[in-house]
Amino acid sequence: MTSSAPKSDALRALYWRSEILRVVYWLYGEGLSDVVDVGLIRRYLGVDAHEDLATFLDHLVDEGSLVRDGDWYALSARGRAKGEVELATAFSDLVHPVLGEGNEECWCHMSAAEAEACADPRARRPPAQSAPATRAHETVSDDASGKAHR
């Protein structure tokens, strides 16, 4: 699922905020768990180890949606009260996979920063290794299907 995350820092922060809150609310709503740690979030989201989820969890603590007790995080009273319905609508247009340039759902159509981040790897690619324009995004599109992460 990591490959579904946008590339620019601003949208990545929003993306992981939404993904993490969604898992925490899901567990809480189903009565399965009131607390999570980084490892549990990683397992639920199928996230690669290099993704720094602890930072995004701490952002949620800073904004008051989660409270932290050692390695464990729980929804705050404010987070429970505000988040459960807001989550359904506030990020619904932002949380979708990267499908690649040429596809109308690509993040690069949504944000100037994302378009810049999307174009940057192609600009830096040596000419000798250049593939047809759609090639890199075909790979991203395969990853975004989620098949590689199951």
Partner 1 sequence: MSEHAQSGDPNGTLPRHYLKPCLLLLLAEGPSHGYELLEQVRRMGIKGAEPGGLYRYLRAMEKEEMVSSWWEPSQAGPARRTYVLTEHGRGGLHDSVQSLRDVREILVSLLDRFDTLPTRAASGSRP
User: Closest CB to partner 1 among 46 and 64?
Assistant: 46
Whether the CB-CB separation of 82 and 96 falls below 8 Å is answered with: no
Count interface residues toward partner 1 (CB under 8 A): 25
Is residue 128 near partner 1 by the rule CB under 8 A? no
DSSP 38: H
In the complex, minimum distance from the CB of residue 85 to partner 1, in angstroms, rounded to a whole number: 6
Per-residue x/- marks for partner 1, 46-85, CB under 8 A? x---------------------------------x---xx
CA–CA dist 27, 150 (Å, integer)? 20
User: Closest CB to partner 1 among 43 and 78?
Assistant: 43
Whether the CB-CB separation of 76 and 28 falls below 8 Å is answered with: no
User: Closest CB to partner 1 among 104 and 128?
Assistant: 104
CA–CA dist 110, 146 (Å, integer)? 22
Q: Is 121 exposed, middle or buried (0-12, 13-18, 19+ CB in 10 A)?
A: exposed
Per the document, the length of the chain is 150
* Positions in 83-112 near partner 1 (CB under 8 A): 84-85, 87-88, 97
DSSP 48: -
User: Closest CB to partner 1 among 124 and 150?
Assistant: 150
Q: Pick from 5, 20, 27, 117: which binds partner 1 (CB under 8 A)?
A: 27
List the Cα angle 27/66/150 in 5-degree steps: 40
Report the interface residues with partner 1, using CB under 8 A: 1, 23, 25-32, 40, 43-46, 80, 84-85, 87-88, 97, 145-146, 149-150
